[in-house]
Amino acid sequence: MAWQALTPPGEDFSKWYNEVVYRADLADQSPVRGSIIVKPYGYELWENIKAGLDRRFKATGHQNAYFPLFIPESFLKREAEHVEGFSPELAVVTIGGGKVLEEPYIVRPTSETIIMDAFHNWIQSYRDLPLLLNQWANVVRWEMRTRPFLRTLEFLWQEGHTAHATFEEAEAETLQMLDVYADFAVNDGAIPVIKGRKSDQERFAGALHTYTIEAMMGDKRALQSGTSHNLGQNFAKAFDIQYLDRNNERQYCWTTSWGLSWRILGGVVMTHGDDKGLRLPPKLAPYQVVIVPIFKNDDEQGVVIETATRISRELASSGIRVHLDKREDLSPGFKYNYWELRGVPVRVEVGPKDIEKGSVVAARRDIPGRDGKQFLSQENLAAQLSALLDEIQTNMLRQATEFRDANLHDVKNYDELKQVVQQGGFARGWWAGSPDDEAHIKGETSATHRCFPFDQPDGTGACLFTGKPADKIAIFAKAY
């Protein structure tokens, strides 16, 4: 088999991204416009993402449930902003069991409406609060321009939906779940993120506040990686979700929702990938270690495969996700490229000389070439590799953070903003502009208001666009 080099990410990032996604077996194109097939390697990565999030959701008191795929059309119309936001993107079922339906069903673009209807039925008193649910599901949004994982017609995600007695509790939940997302992105995904609040223009349709985690991709664009919404009483009023408080008085609930999709998988690819392909953080990698046996003849093959098999079993029993690549018709060099493309954090090479010396060669994916190679004793190998995987996880976060920080620039005026956007990167500066000003910037530079970061300087300054006094800084960038 011949090996074809990837388009270098520096040359055409978008082309590089598509090549990596398809050639590293994360996904395949499908005959359904804008929908992808997630192949086993990509799906296992998604399963690891799910597990990391699900554990955190349960640790913060949430339970999973499952609501219908179909939503009666009338439900979507009950919250005015919500229906306006989603109408252009809907897939509509008009025929069921061979008959035209009296009321069409919408394939859920998100489940606020059908879940809020259930909350209306389930919540009677303050004793029923807070109600903390999450759903893992597929949703459909009729996007016109799609890209694998980043924007697809159908996508897999989770959506949390909670109800609370007070604004303060709802706000605390909204922020807690943003922290959960950030903790996952940083510690499992090795993706540094900026937590912040969306501008009114970028709010979720029907929300009071939308909070976001924003990450910088390898091409210096922003990726909105997860959002958490304080929905105020908008949905509670639209769906009549009331509870009796301790004084036996009826009150409307305060609700939240928060969602993170397989877009984060695209974020992992675009944060860490390089000219050889994927680089997966050890905590999420389907295989953390791949073993490549090296031999020249049948005699060598026997002893090498025997040792490699023993090592593979030892690592697996220590909880390391390991794969032994025993394919016979492929050269070691081919296998190195193959697994580098697929981003396996550590490659272990086992050859006759290693067996003589009781060692193996471990090659790190995060440090290219000789610098990333070292001999490890076969004795106590699992513990050494576990430590190495931890080091790689930490190093990948450091690399990504340094890259992000080097491309995050403070700007004082619109010219500086334009310059940053043109050269690539995040532009951060004082902001007191209007929605129209945001639209103007977007029209001229393609950059959007990403967020008002939580991390704010003291004092005030002059708005980078209007020059008016501003008490908050904002970040602008081109985004996915």
Q: How far is the CB of 232 from a second copy (least distance, A)?
A: 24
Q: Is 94 in the site for a second copy (CB under 8 A)?
A: yes
Is residue 89 part of the contact set for a second copy (CB under 8 A)?
Answer: yes
Q: Which stretch binds a second copy (CB under 8 A): 95-103, 301-309, 422-430, 450-458?
A: 95-103
**Cβ neighbours around 138 below 10 Å, total:** 12
Report DSSP state, residue 372.
G
- Among 57-65, 193-201, 216-224, 440-448, which window interacts with a second copy (CB under 8 A)? 57-65
Shortest CB 331 distance to a second copy, Å: 16
Site string for a second copy, 116-145 (x = CB under 8 A): -xx--xx----------x---xx-x-x-x-
**Whole-angstrom distance, CA of residue 334 vs CA of residue 124:** 63
Helix axes 167-187, 40-59, angle to 10 degrees: 140
CA Rg, the chain, in Å?
A: 25
Quick one: which of 469, 409, 477 has its CA closest to 433? 469
Binding footprint of a second copy, residue count (CB under 8 A): 54
> Does residue 6 bind a second copy (CB under 8 A)?
no
User: Please, are residues 475 and 451 in contact by the beta-carbon 8 Å criterion?
Assistant: yes
In the complex, minimum distance from the CB of residue 115 to a second copy, in angstroms, rounded to a whole number:
9
CB of 138 vs a second copy, minimal distance in Å:
6
Burial class (CB in 10 A: 0-12, 13-18, 19+), 379: exposed
Distance of alpha carbon 231 from alpha carbon 211, whole angstroms: 11
Q: Is 69 in the site for a second copy (CB under 8 A)?
A: yes
Instruction: Determine if 280 is a binding residue for a second copy (CB under 8 A).
Output: no
Q: Of 255, 256, 264, 323, which is closest to residue 289 (Cα–Cα)?
A: 323
Which one of 6, 45, 83, 156 is in contact with a second copy (CB under 8 A)?
156
User: In this complex, which beta carbon is closest to a second copy, that of residue 72 or of residue 372?
Assistant: 72
Integer CA distances (angstroms), 209 to 228, 231, 455, in order: 8, 7, 17
The smaller minimum CB distance to a second copy, of residues 81 and 143, is found at: 143
Residue 317 binding a second copy, by CB under 8 A: no
Helix (H) or strand (E) holding 49: helix 40-59
Q: Rounded to whole angstroms, how far apart are CA atoms 374 and 381? A: 13
8 binds a second copy, rule: CB under 8 A: no
Minimum CB–partner distance for residue 101 and a second copy (Å): 9
- The residues that touch a second copy, with contacts defined as CB under 8 A, are 28, 30-32, 35-40, 43-44, 46-47, 63-72, 75, 87-98, 104-105, 107, 114, 117-118, 121-122, 133, 137-138, 140, 142, 144, 153-154, 156
